[in-house]
Amino acid sequence: MTAGVRGRGQGPAAGWHILSRYRHHLFRATIVLALLGGAAAIYAGASARLAARGVGTGFGFLLQEAGFAIGETLPILLPSDAGGWAFVALLLAAAGGLAMPLLAGGTAARRGAALGFLALLGAGGMAALGVAGVALVEYSPERSFAFALSAGFANTVKAGLFGCVIATAAGVLVGIARLSSNWLLARAATAFVETLRNIPLLVLVLFWYFGVLRALPAVRQSLDIGGTVVLNNRGVFLPDIHATGGTWPVILALLAGTGLAVMTYRRAIAAKMATGALPGWWAAVPLLPVAAPALAWALSGAPATFSYPVLSGFNYVGGLRLSPEFAALLLGLGLYHAAFIAEIVRAGLQGVDPGQRQAALALGFREGRILRLIVFPQALRVMFPPLITQYLSLIKDSSLGFAIAYPELVTLNNVIINQTGQPIEVLLITISVFMAFNLMVSFILNRFERRYAWSWA
């Protein structure tokens, strides 16, 4: 009997059961390995032929000095020694190991514990990064080609993420306006959509750059709006906040206050569902995200100052400057894709059964609450898949910045190819970076859609 019991979990049948259970994963892994092997064989053959003709190959050029300036860059976080690099790798591994079960879902207690551990990891990580000698480093011509590519990728991410925010905000508003009972508002929204969707994106970017931003007056004749916003042909100047080392407690307090507000809101809604009335501590929900950072601000001695653009000599100093290249690309991407998102929103709202709105009106709901609580959550089921595709298209379209000399990844790739003469390696890096970034965005949005969009409806 013992042998029979032991034999039920072993043998060829058990092995075939395990194999059939994971056959899809094995099949995908086999395809990926075959593709990687084929790409490696093609690259090896091309490298051998280029080397025979005296053309350099390999990725060693990434460590060489770039020797060219970049007009617009973001500071990049770099460890100052090997210990710092090891710590960053450990931190990323821990965050990735935590994010996978978090994205996979689980019980409320498990998610709460994971979020708490993530907050502790972030706080400890920031403190340890400071001890390890990690700092934000600005790009300079003495940096390597790898640093230059990182600066270009940072500019691509900046344009893509801010473009997604503008496109989403404008698209949702225009999509709702298209269904408005106000004739003028609905026709204006329709004109916005039909006009921008039928203009090539490159033409739109060039229009904003040459036709609007570069056509603004010179510095001495700048358009000053209330002493806070300045427009001229050198860019858009906005108020800026200068943070210091004491700003981190304020940021952590804001995150903690927001998390507590979300937990309090959920408990209040659960109490209302159980008793029919909101508890007395419901008023603390909107106060927590404000009170916590305000208290941290007061205790740390107001660790930030505001800076405004001021004319000094031949240019404005202070404040936050948006270059004409970045502003033109941002406006082109945001408004162009907002027209497509508006149609996605309109289709999603019209896909909800009209009886839902009529039932809500019969119960005395106002139009705003009907849209926010009943119609829009159900429309998310229809809207989410095409929205994900639209976001990915927007990120890839950020490469059109090369037409107006915005230093994003593709623009810098052309410069590096001209200097190194190694187009295969540079293009492989570009393809890999865009693919990895888009797959990451797609994975996060798809997980969010599967976890929330259907449950909201």
- Summarised one tens digit per residue, pLDDT across range 30-57 is 887 888 888 888 878 877 887 777 777 7
- Summarised one tens digit per residue, pLDDT across range 159-176 is 999 999 999 999 999 999
- Return phi, psi of residue 311, to 5°: -70, 125
Instruction: Identify whether 237 is part of a domain.
Output: no
Q: Give the position of tokens 């395809």.
A: 31
pLDDT for the residue numbered 220: 84
pLDDT for the residue numbered 343: 95
451 and 340, same domain (yes or no): yes
pLDDT at 4 over 70: no
Contact in structure between 177 and 185 (CB atoms under 8 Å): yes
Taking alpha carbons only, the member of 353, 349, 342, 439 closest to residue 387 is: 342
pLDDT for the residue numbered 165: 94
Range of the domain at 430: 60-75+153-211+324-457
Instruction: Identify whether 43 is part of a domain.
Output: yes
Instruction: Identify whether 398 is part of a domain.
Output: yes
Taking alpha carbons only, the member of 427, 418, 440, 412 closest to residue 39 is: 427
pLDDT for the residue numbered 171: 95
pLDDT at 424 over 80: yes
Task: For residue 65, give the 3-state DSSP assignment.
Answer: strand
Residue 283: what residue type? A
Instruction: Identify whether 221 is part of a domain.
Output: no
166 and 47, same domain (yes or no): no
Instruction: Identify whether 394 is part of a domain.
Output: yes
Q: What is the Cα–Cα distance from 80 to 277, expressed in whole angstroms? A: 56
70 and 48, same domain (yes or no): no
Instruction: Identify whether 285 is part of a domain.
Output: no
Average pLDDT on 206-226 reads: 88
Contact in structure between 163 and 85 (CB atoms under 8 Å): no
Contact in structure between 156 and 398 (CB atoms under 8 Å): yes
66 and 186, same domain (yes or no): yes
Q: Give the total number of structural domains in the chain.
A: 2
pLDDT for the residue numbered 104: 47
Task: For residue 245, give the 3-state DSSP assignment.
Answer: coil
Q: What is the mean pLDDT of the chain?
A: 79
- Summarised one tens digit per residue, pLDDT across range 174-194 is 999 999 889 999 999 999 999
205 and 190, same domain (yes or no): yes
Where is average pLDDT lowest: 41-45, 103-107, 386-390?
A: 103-107
Q: What is the Cα–Cα distance from 135 to 439, expressed in whole angstroms? A: 28
45 and 67, same domain (yes or no): no
Instruction: Identify whether 378 is part of a domain.
Output: yes
Q: DSSP letter at 404?
A: G
Instruction: Identify whether 283 is part of a domain.
Output: no
What percent of the chain is modeled with pLDDT above 90? 23
pTM comes to: 0.75
333 and 190, same domain (yes or no): yes
- Summarised one tens digit per residue, pLDDT across range 133-161 is 556 678 888 988 988 998 999 999 999 99
Tell me the CA distances in angstroms from 132 to 78, 85, 185, 308, 454, one per residue in order: 10, 9, 56, 34, 44
pLDDT at 402 over 70: yes
65 and 187, same domain (yes or no): yes
Angle in degrees, CA 422, 414, 53, rounded to 5:
20
52 and 161, same domain (yes or no): no
Tell me the CA distances in angstroms from 335 to 245, 254, 294, one per residue in order: 37, 31, 35
42 and 185, same domain (yes or no): no
Token pair of 341 as six digits: 């998102």
Average pLDDT on 380-386 reads: 87
Q: What is the Cα–Cα distance from 164 to 337, expressed in whole angstroms? A: 8
Contact in structure between 237 and 230 (CB atoms under 8 Å): yes
Q: Give the up-direction half-sphere exposure of residue 134: CA atoms within 13 A in the CB hemisphere.
A: 21
What angle separates helix 145-178 from helix 324-350, to the nearest 10 degrees? 40
